[in-house]
Amino acid sequence: MTHALQHLLAPERIAFVGASARANTVGRDMLQTIRRGGFAGTVYAVNPGYNEIDGVPCYANLAALPQTPDLAVLAVRNDRLEAALRDTAAAGIRAAVIFASCILPDDTDPPLHARLAAIARSAGIAVCGGNCMGFYNDLDGVWVCGFPSQRTRRPGGIALLAHSGSVFGALAHNDPRLRFAFAISPGQEMTVTIADYLDYVVERPEVRAVGLFLETARDPAGLRAALAKAAQRRVPVVALKVGRTEAAAAAALTHTGAVAGSDAAYAALFDRYGVLRVETLDEMAATLLLLQTGRLAAPGGVVAIHDSGGEREMTIDLAERAGVPFAAITPETRRSLAARLDPGLTAENPLDAWGTGENFVASFAGCFADLLADPNAALGLFCADFRDDYYLHAGFAEAARVAAAATDKPVAIITSYTQLRHDRIALELTEAGVPVLDGSANGLLAVRGALAWRDFLARPMDPPPPAPDARAWLARLAAGGVVSGGAGGALSEAEVLDLLGAFGIPTAPHALADSAAEAVAAAARVGFPVVLKTAMPGIAHKSERGGVVLDLRDAAAVRAAYGPMAAALGPRVMLARMLPAGPELALGAVRDPQFGPVIVLGAGGTLVELLDDRVAALPPFGPATARRLLDRLRLRRLLDGFRGGPATDLAALADLVARFSVLVHALGPMVQEIDVNPVICGRFPAAVDGLLVAG
């Protein structure tokens, strides 16, 4: 079945409305651009002032064309756009590109952009733009761009989707090592969003990696579906998401709401679908260069060969910072290396292989091949500062090519400096399947991405635990209040703990009381020592209000603590057994307006908002995913036992987290925020506090 974007991105006939013979205009440049791209289809120019432009037949209007185009490129002023798009619709054209800003001074309501979108949606027109740079389809030779460049068509495996026109230009117009299948500037996404473009490009078998420069998701459900499709087709997506913030809404009532911020949903989305997140364009470019080879990293760590001891030490430091592991090579590999190395050099990984320089090509090729052949080697790095027209680096290039040809593992060159004069040799190596990654930091971050993609593809199936019947709880939440402990049917803290228990999540034994005598009796039932908490409606952050007293060891202590708390906050309290001390985990969820519920997991207790130790995930998920999330926390080291304390049952903790994800998924839109803090991670983890904000 033909994809909805076929007419837009791979048309057979194109009409350029507003074509011009005047130099240095979009109308002239777009005709020259489509010709330079090698378009093999039919091109029409539309302008009543010409009969032809540079050999292209020119017509007065779209209705005069001899055939209906697949695509109309509207290079006209804002004040002429509405009429031009209506003409496009009347002609039965299915796709359009709009370069102009779609903004008029003193515009009416609805504004021009909204009027254009309504016309396009009504006519079923797929619009790239407005305010876009256009696109390059290098696979099919379709260049629809009104802004000239010196790029040449070199079809490859990278698809670039960039909300920023400047990013589109920076990556698509400069480095020939980046071999594009597509480079697309969606602009305002009038009817076609970045999710639609992603859905299209991952269907093309030539596409091996996608670069995504993302400002916002105008179609969140579509983006999630497209990312899932990319993952299913084993096409890695490298994303640079801008506009990140850690500031949550001022009205957040839970710890989770305060720490989640607007970026947690994207972090969770990317984690679910194996999206490789980068911070800079240099990191994105390096990662795409490495992934475009199509080689998948093997199990294990990195092997590296150097011609410099000092740069080797720098690489080791930077790799540790980047989280890139080096392979532990086998004794057999060490013996083979030792037989090739000059005296004084140590057979190790990373390897400094420069000695006397005698027969260096064969020596480096052999040593690098030995490293790559090691069963613990995931991929190989040749680390040297290559430059053009230097016999030594020409020899290194030959050694790298020979070693790479003997393996199916990824192989790359990493330079220590980004400003080397190596344009020719870098391009030759990259086209030979050995990409040159400029700068140690950028290169190692790209390697980290390649290893992360390997690990994502190796994730096991991880079904979530079964969900209990949640209809009664959904009805209760639908009946009332907003904050736990509130009136009108909202859940109290005790009821939140009961809710957790209903989903199989261990909790501290607890009971409610409305007097000192009842409090003493309740404490006896749950078992000393106990925690006394206010259970009055509408009190969030109880500890800050004097609503929590810890470690009450007998009836007298309960009675003494109850009086002041009841006088200050009200008579209703909850007694809960105080569990043995252990690392404290915060477990919560917020409902993101775009992507729905998001689990946030991190260091807990009173410092949850201070410590930057958290991860996010989309529910539901199983215990293997929960364990992977736990392993990413700095808190994780405490769970194995700290200063003689008992180790946490990690399987039980992972099951607890997975069951919480099932709870969040089951309650869906009925919950705005939920906070379980802390989960005491003693020998047997259990939740001891809960706060819920109904939706």
Q: Are 687 and 497 in contact (CB under 8 A)?
A: yes
Q: Are 562 and 549 in contact (CB under 8 A)?
A: no
pLDDT band at 245 (very low <50, low <70, confident <90, very high): low
Considering the four listed CATH numbers 1.10.3470.10, 2.70.70.10, 3.30.470.20, 3.10.20.30, the one that applies to the domain covering 584-694 is 3.30.470.20
Domain ranges of the chain: 6-242, 293-457, 509-578, 584-694
Q: Are 304 and 650 in contact (CB under 8 A)?
A: no
CA dist., res. 214 & res. 224, Å (int): 13
CA dist., res. 490 & res. 487, Å (int): 6
Tell the residue number behind the tokens 């009086």, with chain if given.
Answer: 563
Mean pLDDT of all residues in 310-314: 95
Q: Are 485 and 537 in contact (CB under 8 A)?
A: yes
Residue 257 has pLDDT above 60, yes or no: no
Tokens of 491: 């859940």
pLDDT tens for residues 486-515? 433 467 888 999 999 999 999 999 999 999
pLDDT tens for residues 178-206? 999 999 999 999 999 999 999 999 999 99
Fold of 6-242: Rossmann fold (3.40.50)
CA dist., res. 169 & res. 171, Å (int): 6
Residue 461 has pLDDT above 70, yes or no: yes
Q: Which of 191, 386, 383 is nearest to 305 (CA)?
A: 383
Q: Are 445 and 286 in contact (CB under 8 A)?
A: yes
Please give the distance of CA 178 from its chain centroid, rounded to a whole number. Answer: 21
Domain 509-578 shares a fold with domain 584-694: no
Which secondary-structure segment (H or E) carries 197? helix 194-201
Residue 318's region, left for phi above 0, alpha for psi from -120 to 50, else beta, is alpha
Residue 538 CB: number of other CB atoms within 10 A? 13
Fold of 509-578: Dna Ligase; domain 1 (3.30.1490)
Non-local (6+) Cβ contacts of 108 within 8 A are none
Residue 682 has pLDDT above 90, yes or no: no
pLDDT band at 480 (very low <50, low <70, confident <90, very high): low
- The whole-number pLDDT of residue 490 equals 62
- The whole-number pLDDT of residue 477 equals 87
Mean residue pLDDT of the chain comes to 92
Using alpha carbons only, give the angle 523, 527, 531 rounded to the nearest 5 degrees: 55
pLDDT tens for residues 111-163? 999 999 999 999 999 999 999 999 999 999 999 998 888 899 999 999 999 99
CA dist., res. 334 & res. 53, Å (int): 68
Fold of 293-457: Rossmann fold (3.40.50)
Please give the distance of CA 341 from its chain centroid, rounded to a whole number. Answer: 43
Q: What pTM does this model have?
A: 0.92
